[in-house]
Amino acid sequence: MADRKTSLAIIGGGPGGYAAAFLAADLGLEATLVDPAVNPGGACLYRGCIPSKALLHVARLIGEARAAWEWGVHFDKPKIEIDQLRGWKDKVVSQLTGGLGRLVKERKITHLQGTAVFEDARTLKVTDVQGGERLLGFDQAIIATGSEPVLLPGFDGAAEHIWTSRQALELTEIPKRLLVIGGGYIGLELGTVYAALGAGVSVAEMTPHLLPGVDRELVRFLRKGIDPLFEQILLQTTATEPKVQKNGVKVSLKNEAGEASSALFDKILVAVGRRPKAGSLGLEKAEVQVNENGFIAVDEKRRTSAPGIFAVGDVAGQPMLAHKASHEARIAVEVIAGKNVVYEPAAIPAVVFTDPEVAWAGITEAEAKERGLAYKVSRYPWSASGRSATLGRSDGLTKLVVETDSERILGAGIVGPGAGELIAEAVVAIEMAATATDLGLCIHPHPTLSETLKEAAEIFHGTATHIHRPKRK
């Protein structure tokens, strides 16, 4: 017998979980949110998206101050007050999570501060933060437990020198020498932060490219921007055999030719990816199936193999993005509320908040080619943008993937300052099935970086104002 019962139980308080709880309450459903934190927020708000972007803002400010020397504006070398910086970052996190806590109370959502595992397909065992246990019965449930960093085997012996993204964001120190293992978005973002704060940062990536899977043309602009920031970027390189020394930790670095060398670092940031947090939920007791990659298997309505149990966010599959989790949460709750909806986004935007930023949405050029689509790529270099010139930042590119016959915009990629903000317009265009003509006829404010989208669309017809690129017949 359950100690208490709820109509909808939500496991996990991140962007998927709290979005589900809030919408459920707005639709008149009884919702119980199970999460160990005092306030919702999950990994994104507490130790991911928000603290990293707060620190990346500081890194960008430092970078702009350095660049200002070229314009005749000289600043003294920045002095980093690490305790004050950490305090500001923590204040941002506290402000946002505290706001979510107030919204829980205002919406009259029951928040059980603890963790949950399935006892069966209609019962959860909830263990609170003091160790007490209770059984929670439910009619329906949403699993939104998120993901966790992947750890490298063989690095346990040097634990005091090893960071995951969580430890890196605690900002306890600025190491003199930092090795970042992994050239994906987490490694590059946090590497950017520590390099700006004064650390000597080296990046080791085992594949031939930074940001594996991202449009190579966009990454070339990024590489040019971050090369001066990092001490070295080692591609097709693996890091193994960490050995603790008196003055740091020595690591073996092996390149694509199999040649090994060693280097000494103060800290090692392991940023080789994340994995779904599904293994300790007792899913087998509820007969919830997991796929070969460890993700909970879901259908187009975010339903799992167990009737009445849904899964959203990182635990339910790629891409592992907060905004994708929130959108999936909406779908799951609306299905529970009896609405006939499915999860079928035409474009899920992704952003790497380095400097320059990289953002993309929809179908990439490589994907269009692989699918055999009839397409054309329209590129607008920021060297032709008046606004980028006034910023001293002509190191950017806006590109559109356009279906040849229909002119429909299939995808977009942007690299440059503010790319993460600009990509939203492309997402709307893709979702609305807008054409290159539609986008080109929309009046954009001048001078802005948003004009690069308009002119990229006009290039499809060979009529862009600020660049001469006639349409091929």
Which tokens hold the place of 212? Answer: 């594996």
Tell me if residue 323 is catalytic: no
Burial of 305 (0-12, 13-18, 19+ CB in 10 A): middle
Query: Is residue 142 classed as helix, strand or coil in its secondary structure?
Result: strand
Indicate which residue of 446, 461, 466, 468 is catalytic.
Answer: 446
β pairing state of 238-245 and 248-254: antiparallel
CB atoms within 10 A of CB 471: 12
CA–CA distance, 272 with 182 (Å, rounded to integer): 5
CB-based contact 121:309 (threshold 8 Å): yes
Q: How far apart are the first and last CA of the chain?
A: 74
The bridge status of strand 31-35 relative to strand 4-11 is parallel
435: DSSP letter? B
Question: Could you tell me where the DSSP H helices lie in 68-151?
Answer: 82-106
User: How many other C-beta atoms are found inside a 10 Å radius of the C-beta of residue 85?
Assistant: 16
In whole angstroms, what is the distance from residue 355 CA to residue 223 CA?
10
Alpha-carbon separation of residue 298 from 118, 146, 324, 342, 352 (angstroms)? 17, 15, 14, 12, 27
- Please give the single-letter amino acid code of residue 184: G
Q: For residue 10, what are the β-bridge partners? A: 33, 142
Instruction: Mark residue 81 as left, alpha or beta (left: phi above 0; alpha: psi -120 to 50; beta: remaining).
Output: beta
Q: Contact 104/40 with Cβ under 8 angstroms?
A: yes
* Catalytic site positions: 446
